[in-house]
């Protein structure tokens, strides 16, 4: 067995062990991510509160502009809403479900200062994010190792081809004869 073949076999073995060891590491990172997001959700639920708001107009297509609420992909429309907080009436343009009509009641979330904030993430949203992070780490590390293996394989193949070419060229020469 040639040295480059032994190197590639060792890299395959190391790669299998590496990929298998990355599974619990990625799972640990995913678990930590879920715990952090769940704690963040609990803090938001303790400091933010929901309040009913009345649509002042029918929802219209387009984005609700910039801000935390506009980032949610489930909303394709937006409309002006009005709600009461701390004895004062507030109005804002918020994302709404398509087809919402003026006069309907929607729920908006308010921060500790009464400012409009995004609704806290749900447990399933946190779980989906954590699983995505774990899978992303595993796929990225596995892909990185595969790229490393392919680079080593390419270099070894080039060296092997160069060695075979040299041997083939020397096959033409009779032993002990000097050819200029």
Largest Cα separation within the chain, whole Å, is 107
In the chain, what are the domain boundaries?
Answer: 21-142
Q: What is the pLDDT of residues 89-113, one digit of tens each?
A: 888 888 888 888 888 888 899 888 8
Half-sphere CA count of 164, side-chain side, radius 13 A: 7
Q: Report CA-CA distances (Å) from 72 to 3, 40, 113, 141.
A: 56, 18, 22, 30
User: What phi, psi does 111 have (nearest 5°)?
Assistant: -80, -175
pTM for this entry: 0.70
CB hemisphere CA count around 149 (13 angstroms)? 18
Nearest to 118 by CA among 54, 41, 61: 41
* 3-state SS class at 93: strand
Q: Average per-residue pLDDT in the chain?
A: 85
pLDDT band at 23 (very low <50, low <70, confident <90, very high): very high
pLDDT at position 15 over 70: yes
Question: Is residue 154 very low, low, confident or very high in pLDDT (cuts 50, 70, 90)?
Answer: very high
Higher-confidence position of 114 and 164: 164
Tell me the average pLDDT across 55-81. 67
What is the distance between the alpha carbons of residues 122 and 38, in angstroms, rounded to a whole number?
Answer: 8
């Amino acid at each position: 067995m040639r040295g480059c073949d032994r190197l590639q076999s060792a890299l395959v073995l190391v790669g299998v062990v590496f990929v298998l060891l990355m599974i619990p590491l990625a799972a640990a990172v995913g678990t930590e991510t879920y715990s952090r997001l769940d704690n963040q959700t609990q803090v938001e639920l303790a400091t933010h509160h929901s309040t009913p708001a009345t649509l002042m107009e029918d929802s219209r297509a387009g984005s609700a502009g910039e801000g935390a609420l506009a980032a949610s992909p489930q909303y394709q429309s937006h409309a002006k809403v009005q709600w009461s907080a701390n004895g004062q009436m507030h109005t804002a343009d918020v994302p709404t479900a398509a087809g919402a009509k003026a006069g309907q009641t929607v729920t908006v979330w308010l921060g500790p200062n009464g400012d409009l904030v995004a609704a806290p993430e749900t447990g399933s949203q946190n779980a989906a994010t954590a699983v995505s992070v774990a899978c992303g780490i595993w796929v990225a590390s596995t892909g990185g190792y595969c790229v490393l293996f392919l680079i080593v394989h390419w270099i070894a193949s080039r060296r092997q081809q160069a060695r075979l070419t040299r041997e083939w060229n020397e096959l033409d020469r009779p032993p002990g004869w000097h050819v200029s």
